[in-house]
Structure 1
Amino acid sequence: MSCVLFKLSFTFLLIGAVSLLNISCNSKDTDLNSTLKLSGDNRKELETVLAYYKNKGDMDKLRAANFLIGNMKDKFSLTNRSNQPFNQILNLIDSIWDHGNSGVIDNTKYLQRKWDSLSNIYGPPVINEKDKDYDYSTIKAKYLIEHIDHSFSVWKSKDWAKGVNFEDFCEYILPYRIGTEEIEPWSLRLYNEWLPYLKKKELDSTLKISKYINDYNSYKMKHMKMLWSYPYDFTTTEFERIRVGNCKMSVHYTTQVLRSLGIPTAVDFTPRWAGSNNGHEWNVIFLENGKAHPFDAIHRGLNIDFSWRKIAKVYRKTFAKQILSINTEYLSEIPKDLVENYAKDVTSEYVKTSDIDLPIDNIEGHHYAIISSYHGFEWIPQDWGDIKKGKAHFRNIGVGNLYSIFIYHNNKYTRKTQPFFIDTLGKIEFFKPDFKNKQEMRLERKFPLTPFMKNIMSFIIGNKIQGGNTRDFKDSITFFTIADTPMNIKTVEIHDHKKYRYVRMWIPRGGRGDMAELEFYGLSPNKKDTIKLSGEIIGDPKIDIRGKRYYTYPFDENLLTYYLRPRGGDPWVGLDFGKAQRIVKVRYCPRSDTNFIEVGDEYELFLWDLDDWKSLGRRQADSQYVVFNNMPKNGLYILVNLNKGVENKIFSYNGGHQIWR
């Protein structure tokens, strides 16, 4: 065949391919044409893919190719060209893994110091335009064809994928990228690596396969807070090399592994929890019966705990661009980070939702309003809504949260309502302080105790507090065994008139320790007052504890440090008083969030009054609670520890109790 004849045949194939574009996965021919126009010198690569499947007569794969190319316009890789010095951190992490599975975790502080040093020299890593490589300009036909063929192969051949329809296949199995990672041929490689394990374990369902992979990865890989500020997404090979990352990195990797095996997998996220300025991402698999099953990536088990979080909005990432009902003429009235072009609202799959229609004054000339939750003293944007006929309209808003409505203009927010609470029935309750009716308020925390933290605090249950007069505690007696989860600092009186030189906390089999502070008290010379006893810190004689700071943590008067059981040896930590002492009481505190009231600290109470937070006064705590008298009822309050801490949460007060909002 001559070159001229080949070119003519190729052209006719492309015309035929383009004529079939209207049957794609919700991707329009205008989207494809737009991508092709942008692709420049790379256009031939994209057209080759379409011609290839047209020539084979495979209309489903042609539709799939059109879906990918038609939605390629905003897809790009971020390659670290602007912040290359930070690559040495990744290489250092890689080298530390050679020292064992716990090496990176044991060197977290060292790595953070290296990161901080680089940030001081070069500034924190920030994305630059030169880091971007748009897919339509760089992606190759061979890569796309191999990826599409593999995706179809697992979709058609695996029993767990046979019930997946074409639209869901396009979104949750087919995509060649998840975020802004560099393009690499990952799908067939991951499939070949994991398939032998599945066969060996005889795993034959979406749930079993996903749990096995997530459990395995939770042992091999870890989360690292330091990398929250690293702006580049890892490829699968880079994540396997580094084996640590932020939540997004682990979610992306898990998504790619599961999709390579034909398991339909999505990425769900909340940009910001209600009551927080932080968000989260997690995975969702679709079971054979079509039911969605969410879970945290690289956590043992296949679940996710929402009990300690409040949800305003949840979205599901999509490869296809979503149609938003926004008049672009007034787009400036909506903050850019609230416009989710590649995500769909799935809030109602997680919590009960309500539509909100509230009258708003003085909104002439405005077309959109912003609904916000809060974080401490700040209000955090959550969603946008239409303004019509003097009302702001919001859809699918998570209930059980405190909100307020704003107008966004010239990059500034203007409040248009007082704070209001939406209950589980969708009823709206506004708060206006009643200064005529007063109340006494006894406050025990500045931030609620979450189920997550309460579970951590429970890890000290079963620990034994003991005394003895031999260094190996062969003659030990148990003063008490911790039987309940303490909510703050706990004091236990000891009614034993014998004297003991040695004391310790002993951790039972399966226990972790998790003790933040442990204090022993004896009698003063006047035999009436108690005094805190001090001594040499000791542990199992078989362990050299010199230089191991975690042995000092229960005795350092710092509630933010805590003792965990050591590797090897008997799990205990204690004191040698030098001579026998009578023990009259023990004070202890588990690892915690330290958001309870601490004796000696000063607290300030604030009230929301019309348009701002106003101080109601300060109190120094002389007990594990503070009392404020003659406070207005029906208010919203925030309690702040003026000595330490950053977490505060809005609450109301009724019936003698703080009600967290």
Structure 2
Amino acid sequence: MKKLFIILILTGLIYVTYLNKEIFYKYPEAVRYTLKNSNELQRAEFEKVLKYFNKEEDNLKLKCAQVLISNIPLYSYKKEPETFNQVVDSIHALKNKLIIYSDSLKYNKRMLKKVQDLFVDKMNFLCKTNDFFDKEEVRDIDTLSSSFLIENINLAFEAHYKLPKKYRTNFNDFCNYVLPYRNDREPLEFQKRRELYEKYSWVYDSIKIKPLEDIVIQIYDDLKINIDFKKLSNLNLSPTPSQIEKLQYGLCRDVTNYFVLLFRSLGFAAGTDYITTYGNRHSPIGHNWFFIMYDDTFLPIQARSKSLIFSDIEKIFKLTNMPKVYRNVFNKINFKNSSINIDTDVTNMYRPTSTVQIENIFQTSNKEDFKLCVFNKKSNWFEVDKNFKLNNNKVTFNNVGRGIAYAVTNSFLEPINYPFYLDYKGNLMFLKNKNLKEDIPFNITRKYPPIDLPNKWKIDRIKALNNCKLQGSNYLDENSFKDIYTIKNFCSTQKSQFLFKKEEKYRYYRLIAEEVTSYTSYIAEFALINTDLEPIKNVKIDFYGTKESKLKQKSKITDNDPLTFGRFLNMKITFEVENNQNVSGFEIQARNDDNHINIGEEYELKVFDKAWKRVRKEKAKDTVLNYKSLAKDGLYILHNLTKGKEETVFTFDENGNQFWFGVSDVNDLGVGAPMSMGFK
């Protein structure tokens, strides 16, 4: 009897093992991989999800479960230490106090920025301690519960089908851009999707009568989130969605992740498009933004601190020097056969592109991994694409953004051919450094492009000084001032002197903005000058139209530093001259990037010929550097050895003037680009 009992037990165990094995192998390949690599408790959680949706009416939801479980091993995040959470909570508490108790202070964007600066100061202090960098890696495969995954799937379907048909998407895009519980490597909050779904439930009524753009703007403006790459990029923080709400602050990556979660919670197909770097820049800086797909189209939304504007968004993307744009794909592992899906190249959805074929004339080994690269000051070249085709010693890259200088390199970032410029018309111009020209002078005025497409602010801030007036009076009475000089046709980054037709001798001088406008004026340097064309000393200065202290503003426009500047709304600056001195004019410098040629500073011009080679090193005696006998088709870079960081490559046009890639010929793009630069 005892023996029979043991046989029955063994038979049962063998049957259960066989049954479990049969069940295990019924799962798709990628699902089995996740189950096999999970611990016992987590495997049970994932199997609960599969069994929960293992009903005929839940066939689509079962596929969604398989998609999520197949991709779970790919994802994790870095958990911030408790000190970070405490700082965020303290900043949030401070904001709430200011909002409640600061009626007289008028809590606004300016005050919000000060609070956010305080957050940065605290984080910089914490980052000096070693333990702050000991961040725990939290893997999705170790932490996701069955209840979380089940609710995520059900909520995705529920929200999606509450949208009008126009805003619903196909099942493949649903799995990539509606279903996923995360967008990138952001920390997870298990209740956040439902919280956002309920908070913004008003959208389902509004979307029936309002365009999607209006709803996005309303949500974006309500949240008032500031983007700050300069101050946050070195901190490498990973805030949760709730912490983004508390801080109203983050990198473009953090803000993008937040809005993707928000709109997915409402059932929209939302995701991230990104670049690994811009083209024609001095250093690699990536960027990402979110999009919403609907009705066979998509709406890209740039994360920015100001209000969103959609009217010129197509023009903005075309003008932005993006060599490659990629779309982040959540469903990277096919649950059926474990095949790998890479992020999608969507460059041609944003910019004009071309197919580029480059021959390996330098006889780099065909076995190398070839790369499409853009210029990078530190390493010469920075990879933007490695998806090439090789045929008969020719390397082909598809969907390459125009208006950018490139090189195709081997795995060691050594060019296999001359660098080249892909212009806006799709033509290739190889930068061979061969066509020596001796019959024309070559003029260099800058080490960095004079305009940052698609922004016009570098020019606008300079031209804003046009029509400003210098007036004189012996009294402070408002009506006693007389016009002496009006600035006209001014468009220079250099400090410029303006002389009067005759010497003036007033006690008070006043610089005012054009009366019919109410814009902001930016001044880096200003001084009244004497008959020797030297700045007059011991001048008292008074300001109108600034929120900063008078002492601070005075230091900014008199410190002989071109990178500091005063900001004046309806500018009115009064200068009091002692001892009735003669004034023959004034010198002024607009807000600028200081990338022009400065007299007395040391410069070095180099040309690229497989490596950088010096052309000439000198101290500038003028604001223009003149050269003879240069190659018109060379790739050049100018170093300021005295100061500064920004510099990038250029070549020369037919007249010997600097040709900035993607800038000098931007009118060829045909989008009404700002090209009336006229810098002197």
Class of the TM-score when normalised by the shorter of the 2 chains: 0.7 to 0.9
* Pair 299,50 (structure 1): closer, same or farther in 2 beyond 3 Å: farther
CA distance in 1, matches of 2:474, 2:91: 46
Instruction: Give 1:246 deviation, angstroms.
Output: 1.0
Aligned partners of 2:359, 2:548: CA distance in 1, in Å? Answer: 69
State the match for 2:393 in structure 1: 390
Q: Which one-letter code corresponds to 2:528 in the other structure? A: F
1:321 and 2:328 are equivalent in the alignment:
no
**Equivalents in 1 of 2:20, 2:475: separation in Å?**
90
**Number of matched pairs:** 612
1:88-145 deviations in Å (ceiling 9; x for gaps): 654564355344442352367665555444444439x65x6x6222112211122222
Question: Could you say which residue in structure 1 is the equivalent of 2:290?
Answer: 283
* Matched-pair contact (CA < 8 Å) for 1:599–1:623: yes
State the distance in 2 between where 1:453 and 1:532 align.
Answer: 36
| Corresponding residue to 2:198 among 170, 186, 192 | 192
Cα deviations by residue, 1:173-222 (Å, 9 ceiling, x for unpaired): 221111222221222211222334775898633222112222333x3544
SS in 1 for 2:324: coil
Give the gaps of 5 or more residues in structure 1: 1-7, 22-28, 329-339
Deviations 1:279-329 (A, max 9, x none): 111122224352443433544124453465322111001111168xxxx9x
Q: Return 354-363 or 192-201, whichever deviates more.
A: 192-201
Secondary structure of the residue that 2:65 maps to in structure 1? helix
Q: Which has the higher strand share?
A: 1
**Residues of 2 paired with 1:246 and 1:649: CA distance?**
25
Pairing 1:260-339 to 2, within 5 Å after superposition:
260-276=265-281, 277-303=284-310, 304=313, 305-306=316-317, 309-321=320-332
- Partner letter of residue 562 of structure 1? F
Deviation at 1:531, TM superposition (A): 4.2
Aligned: 1:227 with 2:232: yes
The Cα offsets for residues 487-509 of structure 1, whole Å up to 9 and x where unpaired, read as 31344333465433233443566
Change (3 A) 1:220 1:636: closer
Decide whether aligned partners of structure 1 residues 132 and 122 sit closer, same or farther in structure 2, where only a CA change above 3 A counts.
Answer: closer
SS in 1 for 2:261: helix
Among the aligned pairs, what percent are the same residue? 24
Contact kept in structure 2, 1:96 and 1:104, CA below 8 Å: no
Structure 2 counterpart of 1:36, one-letter code: L
1:151 aligns with 2:153: no
Contact 1:211 1:301 (8 Å CA) reproduced = yes
Shift of 1:436: 5.1
One-letter code aligned to 1:375: N
Write out aligned runs for 1:284-433 (5 A): 284-303=291-310, 304=313, 305-306=316-317, 309-321=320-332, 343-360=343-360, 361-364=362-365, 366-376=367-377, 378-384=380-386, 385-408=388-411, 412-433=412-433
Distance 1:66 1:404, change over 3 A: same
Structure 1 stretch displaced more, 313-322 or 548-557:
548-557
Distance 1:364 1:17, change over 3 A: closer
Greater relative contact order structure (CA < 8 Å, 6+ sep):
2
Gap change, CA 1:355 and 1:42, over 3 Å in 2: same
Counterpart in the other structure of 2:29: 30
- The answer to whether the aligner puts 1:470 opposite 2:475 as a matched pair is yes
Answer yes or no: is the 8 Å Cα contact 1:228–1:245 preserved in 2: no
The change in CA–CA distance for 1:487 and 1:38 in structure 2 (over 3 A counts) is farther
Among residues 558, 563, 568, which one is paired with 1:565 in the alignment?
568
- Give the counterpart letter for 2:441 in structure 1: E
Cα distance, 1:32 vs. partner? 1.4
Do 1:254 and 1:297's aligned partners in 2 also have CA atoms closer than 8 Å? no
Contact 2:318 2:352 in 1 (8 A): no
**Pairing of 1:153-192 with structure 2 (within 5 A):** 153-159=158-164, 162-184=167-189, 185-192=191-198
Tell me the equivalent position of 1:334: none
Within 2, Cα distance between the matches of 1:243 and 1:629? Answer: 54
Q: Is the 8 A contact 1:434 1:635 kept in 2?
A: yes
TM-score by structure 1 length? Answer: 0.82
Which shifted more, 369-378 or 474-483?
A: 474-483
Tell me the residue number matched to 2:210: 204
Partner of 1:3: none
* CA RMSD of superposed structures (Å): 3.5
Using a 3 Å threshold, how does the CA distance of structure 1 residues 421 and 221 change in structure 2: closer, same or farther?
Answer: closer
1:444 and 1:626 in contact (8 A); partners too: yes
Distance 1:132 1:116, change over 3 A: closer
Equivalent pair of 1:171/1:319 in contact (CA under 8 Å):
yes
SS at the partner of 2:612?
strand
Mapped partners of 2:68, 2:171: distance in 1:
13
Match of 2:521 among 513, 516, 541: 513
Which residue in 2 is equivalent to 1:24? Answer: none
Q: CA deviation at 1:423?
A: 3.1
Determine if contact 1:173/1:259 at 8 Å carries over to the other structure: yes
Whether contact under 8 Å (1:453, 1:592) holds in the other structure is no
Structure 2 counterparts to residues 71-90 of structure 1, below 5 A: 71-81=71-81, 90=88
